[in-house]
Amino acid sequence: MKLDDLKKNYPPVSAAGHAQFMRTLANLKEEEPVKKKLSLSLALALVLILALAATAIALVTSYSVKDHIDPKFIDQITQIDQSYENDYLSLSINDALADAKSLFVAMNMTHKPGAPEVYVFPFVTAESQGKALDVDIESGFDFYDGAWLPERAPSSEGPGNYSLDMAIMEDRMPGAQDDITWTLTFHVLKPNWPIETDQYSARGYYEGEGKIAHEDYEQLFRDAYKNKKILLTYNDTTVEYSAYLPLPEGLTEEEHLHMRMWERLVVSGAFSEVDRFSRSFTTKKGERKDALEQTASYDFKDYTLTVDQVSLTPIQMEARFTITAKRPDVLAQDEVLYFEARGEDGAITATGFSFGSFGGSADPMGFIGSYDTKPLKTLPDEVTFVPFIRKTIPQGPGKNALFETSYQEENAFTVKVGQ
């Protein structure tokens, strides 16, 4: 991948992007134990009761994907029950739900009492039929930008509870065709310098009193590194700090951009990697349907469209199209082209869209649509896509914009899918 491609695919984090890392702080209270003199027999009985209670609590509080999925997928859960322990933390990888396109895994991780503070980053790899798959974290931001132990801000899923939602990136590599072996590698980092929290991010540095210009905000992180300090945003993330680290000697800008966040932090000298460990497990092949006709093309009045991929599992559907405008002004600046998906049971709910922008016939636009298939009784044999244009209508300062939607029923097309 070229440097320009990296910059285009991974632009600087926006102010809106920061918001997804914000957490709600929770205050936990513990009652003081009551000290009383006990007989030996009563004391032993209490020890036994407490031991049994502790075991029951451990079983109850073990985080599971069962807490989040539709009950109809319970029998498809892979029980993992793998653990790891070092001087800093205890980790258990509990269970997972996987299909031929993704993985959702649940874990518990706790800090060892009295141990130094550490910063944990996971890295996930996968293979099927002996071939490596290209996977990436879709959600689970507590791990995406690293998890502090002890927690600087509680996990969004509850103290000690963590999950990862992984997706197979099929635009760059073919998807799984059989059982998948997943490997989770954890990088444990220890900070070498004093840690401070940026005071602007907590209250929105572009709004309200005490706002700061973006250039001045960037300089805060450069100055922190220069003074051998670690500056966090939103109490626990190093996304901005990592973004403004200087280029290490002996590395090109492309090599530095291509590094994982934990690698940049270690190379910078601000952190040291004190441990690294991996755990692997295998999930069974899942049901999947794919477009029977690859690269089918359609010629419409304002644009041409090529179907690059349509794949369905009982959990999700992904559609990828390449669209080439016949003239640069097919869409106005405030208009976006989307696609509604319809199966045998009606519309299939969209969960997300990704798209480029029209630049004339010489610059095709890539479209990626994600859809929720969990409510469907069975996977359909064909899916109809209906293009629609959504126009943004501003409502003035302080008011939410409205949207005007116009469907292009005349441009609807049907994709047949099969095993």
Domain 63-192+270-282 and domain 289-418, same fold? Reply is yes
Block mean pLDDT (10 aa), the chain, length 419? 36 37 31 36 38 38 87 92 97 94 93 97 92 74 77 86 87 81 96 94 63 88 98 91 94 90 95 98 92 87 93 92 88 89 93 72 81 93 95 85 93 93
Q: Which of 143, 121, 124, 141 is nearest to 133 (CA)?
A: 124
Q: Hey, what are 401's tokens?
A: 């914009």
Rg (alpha carbons) of the chain, rounded to whole number? 25
Q: Hey, what are 274's tokens?
A: 């004190």
Please, what is the Cα angle at 139 between 275 and 108, to 5 degrees? 45
Q: Which of 164, 192, 193, 190 is nearest to 89 (CA)?
A: 190
- The answer to whether 379 and 268 are in contact (CB under 8 A) is no
Q: Which of 344, 405, 351, 404 is nearest to 378 (CA)?
A: 344
β-strand pairing of 180-191 with 382-393: unpaired
pTM above 0.85, yes or no: no
**What is the per-residue pLDDT for 144?**
67
| Cβ neighbours for 66, distance < 8 A, ≥ 6 positions apart | 74, 77, 95
Q: Give 295's Cβ-side CA count (13 Å radius).
A: 0
CA distances from 148 to 30, 117, 406 (A): 22, 7, 47
Domain ranges of the chain: 63-192+270-282, 195-261, 289-418
Distance CA 323, CA 300 (A): 10
First to last CA, the chain: 33
Q: What is the CATH number of domain 289-418?
A: 2.60.40.1640
Please, what is the Cα angle at 368 between 261 and 127, to 5 degrees? 55
- The answer to whether 156 and 237 are in contact (CB under 8 A) is no
Show the 3-state SS of the chain: CCHHHHHHHCCCCCHHHHHHHCCCCCCCCCCCCCCCCCCHHHHHHHHHHHHHHHHHHHHHHCCCHHHCCCHHHHHHCEEEEEEEECCCEEEEEEEEEECCCEEEEEEEEEECCCCCCEEEEEEEEEEECCEEECEEEEECHHHHCCEEECCCCCCCCCCCEEEEEEEECCCCCCCCCCCEEEEEEEEEEEECCCEEECCCHHHCCCCCCCCCCHHHHHHHHHHHHHCCCEEEECCCECHHHHHCCCCCCCCCHHHHHHCCHHHHHHHHCCEEEEEEEEEEEEECCCCCEEECCCCEEEECCCEEEEEEEEEECCCEEEEEEEEEECCCCCCCCCEEEEEEEEECCEEECEEEEEECCCCCCCCCEEEEEEEECCCCCCCCCEEEEEEEEEEEECCCCCCCCEEEEEECHHHCEEEEEEC
Residue 124, amino acid: V
Q: What is the CATH number of domain 63-192+270-282?
A: 2.60.40.1630
**What is the per-residue pLDDT for 20?**
36
Distance CA 353, CA 318 (A): 10
